[in-house]
Structure 1
């Protein structure tokens, strides 16, 4: 772990500036977009030299690569919850709607946070594929939400040690704690008292973790855009 640096201080200031301001409804609508158009993110063009049809959207290397990796996952989650909240599944209770709206707002905030921090280094919008999800069906929606949240938690757990900037690691720790709250409440909506069962918590009381390539392989079922993660750090 490196000692505190100027870049660390700047990253923490950006985090504080972003999260200290609440997302007002009009601001959120700008983030999420109107209707289904907010979900259908369009893949970016040749923004970087390696952004080609052959190699896919290039995440980068080092901390930038890991931040783009997290940004890609947050794009996927935000797109999913925006569509969920645009037209709730049949029989959704008001309590369920309130929970899913809160999660939507969190995921959109996470997405925009990474986009702002990365600036010119940010990858473009990813095109998602939700054809396997029945958004009118509670089981389909909550089952997918559970899969996304569990995957997100394991992704942050597996990538944290790859970050070299302490400021970025601090932010990642704060975000994964929110993702874990999401995972817990979604599990409770599906099956009471399952919020921390052995599907996600091991015998040592620790959450599961996955390395980036494994996570991206799982997420690829819902992402049309090809992603090039070849230069992500592994140690």
Structure 2
């Protein structure tokens, strides 16, 4: 089968769901144009209700950066971050699992090394910005145990059956799917947190990290898309992961995989106005805790995150 025939097959199998989502996004886009003031007041109300500080928001982000940095560091280097980059307030936890990937595609290996360097730099940058207020790394699960976070996430998405494990370090493709779980969530987390920051310097810093996370997400999505032309199951897997994330965070179907929409690719997941959506801190925790309810821990953070923002949102 030629690349063109493969693409046509992918288009045919994914068209119905993608067209439905595009129609929904157009509806949401029209609402957004009319309701910018309402959205702003909603964010302001959330900030007032939570009475969160800029340090709380940055520490929340630091927990997520610990997770990403450890995953990429192990995948690329075979070891995690040094202990000097993990200390701080709250209970410091260990990393479960993680190992080096034997990359067979040199392009994927190069991408992985670049992303790892960026994520480690994010950890160090946020720790420096927070100073003595920085939280320590909480316990993190990036292992391959059948009962672990990656396997649980993969089962929720229908990628593996009950009792089976998912190993993101086994192949280039598995690594990319593991990265796909994180990167889109990171982008939407920074988008959602930006309106809650009061300090201009912190807002600019968050915007800078948001841009980098978006680049990372685009790299992962583009690479999966390219490989998906030869192995359409990869594109289907991103749709299943996207659906699982949507099921966990809130009732709105705004998450997107990489299946083409009509005759165009879907590397950049945006609404009808070309804007990326944001997630609340609670929505983000729903996904990383792998739980759609209001809980203080689970999934990739078995003992919860450190700081003042720790509970997910009841869906």
How much does 1:63 deviate?
A: 0.5
* Matching residue within 52, 57, 60 for 1:61: 52
Residue correspondences, number: 172
* Matching residue within 275, 280, 286 for 1:206: 275
1:98 aligns with 2:89: no
d(CA) in 1 for partners of 2:210, 2:268? 18
d(CA) in 1 for partners of 2:224, 2:125? 30
**Structure of higher CA gyration radius:** 2
d(CA) in 2 for partners of 1:206, 1:107? 24
How much does 1:90 deviate?
A: 4.6
d(CA) in 2 for partners of 1:169, 1:182? 20
* Matching residue within 159, 173, 183 for 1:149: 183
1:158 aligns with 2:192: yes
Q: Which runs of 5+ in 2 are unaligned?
A: 1-50, 79-99, 144-149, 151-165, 230-257, 260-264, 290-298
How much does 1:223 deviate?
A: 1.5
1:229 aligns with 2:309: yes
d(CA) in 1 for partners of 2:300, 2:181? 11
d(CA) in 2 for partners of 1:223, 1:175? 22
d(CA) in 1 for partners of 2:207, 2:120? 17
d(CA) in 2 for partners of 1:96, 1:230? 34
Deviates more, 1:69-78 or 1:125-134: 125-134
SS in 2 for 1:209: coil
* Matching residue within 149, 171, 186 for 1:137: 171
1:82: which partner in 2?
73
Distance 1:165 1:92, change over 3 A: same
How much does 1:86 deviate?
A: 2.8
d(CA) in 1 for partners of 2:60, 2:117? 20
How much does 1:198 deviate?
A: 7.7
Identify the structure with bigger relative contact order (alpha carbons < 8 Å, sequence gap 6+).
1
d(CA) in 2 for partners of 1:99, 1:126? 27
SS in 2 for 1:83: helix
d(CA) in 1 for partners of 2:104, 2:303? 31
d(CA) in 1 for partners of 2:176, 2:267? 19
Structure 1 vs Structure 2 CA RMSD = 2.3
Q: Which runs of 5+ in 1 are unaligned?
A: 1-59
Q: Is the 8 A contact 2:189 2:278 kept in 1?
A: yes
